[in-house]
Structure 1
Amino acid sequence: MQHILLPTDFSENSWNAITYALQLYKDQKCIFTLLNIYTPVIYHLEATQTSSAQFALQDAMSEVSTIGLDNLQKRIDKKFNNPNHTFSHISAFNTLTNEINELYKDKVIDIIIMGTQGASGIKEILFGSNTMHIINHAKCPVLAIPNNFDFETPHGILFPSDYNIAFQEKHVQHTLDIANQFHARINILHVLHGNKLSEKQELNRRKLEAYFKKATLLFHTIENKNIPEAITEFQLKARINLLVMLNNKHSFFENLFFKSNIKHIGFHLNIPFLVIPSRT
């Protein structure tokens, strides 16, 4: 049974991610945890840390959070009411990253599904800061759903790789599960710079092929293009509706998202994006 964490700030963007998750797993028995965190600004002011004003504000925000989760549950029940799905609520005085780390240690979550923008709705960047931070630090897979993306059955999956990772089963399991459930085609995309793959890269490519042997799998090689451009062009040409990448330190993923100015890399995500941590 999947344990799925659904962080929410009660924005329409987070609701959109929740509806995607409920449709993606509609035929599976799942336990969903709705998570809302609150951290009053006054909490950061040392001079007021023990004041009655701080505790009053914390109590008020706790009540708002709890009521918000109850109302969200009613909205879910009204629209979906799926007997396969069980829900729990967490309202936490914490940061989102710390709360997620604690839940992971307690084995409460297998995957996080969240929107790419929060209540602020900053459109000039690829992701909201919370989503970006979670993607870079979470020890379980994160599925980020773009704002206003309506659910589509994931028939076309794009998995770019530089083949510099010694793949393990945990790196591919979520992708394989989705592919098998929806009879999706997995497209492995490699951007080649140079004449051919090294022995290490070829070995890793074969490992990947072996893990996906029960799925419909195609390998693609594009030469001498930058990665964002190659991904975007392939996504449009092949009608991809799920992008999967492995977040490996010192890999092209890190270069793509964390060593570039994401406002100017020309990579505009408009499909769900599943990020798999290389280490747990």
Structure 2
Amino acid sequence: MKKILIPTDFSTNSYKAIDYITELFKNEACAFYFLNVYNYGTGGLSAIEMLQADDEWFEKPKEESLLHLGDLLDEYTVNKNNEKHEYHVISESLSLVKAMEKHIESIDVDLIVLKGNAKISKNIESIVGKIRACPPVLIVPPYASMNKKINLAIASNFTEEVRTNEIDSFLEIFKNTNFIITVLALTNEKDMPDETSRHIKLLCNHLENQTDKTVALEFTAKSDNLKTYAISHLSSIMCVVDKKPDLLRKIGLCKSRVISTLEKLHNNPVLTIHQ
């Protein structure tokens, strides 16, 4: 059973992301973990005021978090029951990144699902850019569409060999799902170096052996064409490859290069994987 961690703030977009992923994996055995983080809003309070605060002040944020998580649990266990799915709730008084780091390890998470917006949120930047031991992250925009056959489009310039561990892990969840794979090479087919050609062939051969499916290969020389492809394939899951966060990214001195790519793809579900 695959384990999927979904941070939620109980917003409409958050519910839409959950609806998308539960429908996408409706034929797969999955355990969904809904995570909500809360804080005590201590900004502006002095140390003395915090010491004088009663138990009710401290308990209220936790109780509200658990109440909303209970409503969310009822929605998916009772109203949208799927015998292949099980649901769990987690409430934490931590930053979102700290809470996710904690439960990625304790649960052994296979996939993270985040709600998307018109702009890349600070939460997405932090999770994609700073969590090193991060499984694949699927970002779901509010109006994500889905066809009967899912197209996973893997985009890269292939200047380096693409490691396939996280792609394999994601595809493993699709055992009973109708899908196709497209490799989108962000390079000019006529002028590409031999090394780039070798990296493309290695990935295509691996994916075909792994899935017993024919992999479609497309080339686009300009990075802007990635956005054009995405717009013309709105139901496709766009897969982009990122390097694991180093120390400079973890402390916020530089951003992941994949963030600028994500900004071009905000209308598509996007899967980010670490190299």
TM-score, length basis structure 2: 0.83
What is the SS of the residue equivalent to 1:40?
A: coil
Q: 1:239 to 1:68 in 2, by over 3 A?
A: closer
Structure 2 residue 240 is matched with structure 1 residue 248: no
Q: 1:190 to 1:75 in 2, by over 3 A?
A: same
Root-mean-square deviation (Å): 2.8
Partner of 1:276: 273
* Structure 2: unaligned runs, 5 residues or longer: 246-254
Match of 1:217 among 212, 215, 218: 215
Structure 2: distance between partners of 1:66 and 1:246: 35
Structure 1: distance between partners of 2:82 and 2:124: 27
List structure 1 runs of 4+ shifted beyond 6 angstroms: none
Once the two structures are TM-superposed, the CA of residue 134 in structure 1 deviates from its matched residue by 1.4
The 5 Å alignment of 1:248-267 reads 248=243, 254-255=256-257, 257=259, 267=264
Partner of 1:206: 201
Partner of 2:250: none
Contact 1:161 1:189 in 2 (8 A): yes
Once the two structures are TM-superposed, the CA of residue 112 in structure 1 deviates from its matched residue by 0.7
Q: 1:194 to 1:25 in 2, by over 3 A?
A: closer
Structure 2 residue 114 is matched with structure 1 residue 114: yes
Once the two structures are TM-superposed, the CA of residue 243 in structure 1 deviates from its matched residue by 0.7
Instruction: Tell me which moved more, 210-219 or 6-15.
Output: 210-219
Structure 2 residue 236 is matched with structure 1 residue 234: no
Contact 1:154 1:184 in 2 (8 A): yes
Structure 2 residue 71 is matched with structure 1 residue 71: yes
* Structure 1: unaligned runs, 5 residues or longer: 118-122
The 5 Å alignment of 1:127-146 reads 127-138=120-131, 139-146=134-141
Q: 1:152 to 1:68 in 2, by over 3 A?
A: farther
Structure 1: distance between partners of 2:137 and 2:101: 13
Contact 1:5 1:32 in 2 (8 A): yes
The 5 Å alignment of 1:24-173 reads 24-42=24-42, 47=47, 51-53=51-53, 56-117=56-117, 123=118, 125=119, 127-138=120-131, 139-173=134-168
The 5 Å alignment of 1:8-27 reads 8-27=8-27
Q: 1:196 to 1:150 in 2, by over 3 A?
A: closer
TM-score, length basis structure 1: 0.81
Contact 1:179 1:186 in 2 (8 A): no
Once the two structures are TM-superposed, the CA of residue 248 in structure 1 deviates from its matched residue by 2.0
Identical residues among aligned pairs (%): 21
**Count of matched residue positions in the alignment of Structure 1 and Structure 2:** 261
Once the two structures are TM-superposed, the CA of residue 133 in structure 1 deviates from its matched residue by 1.8
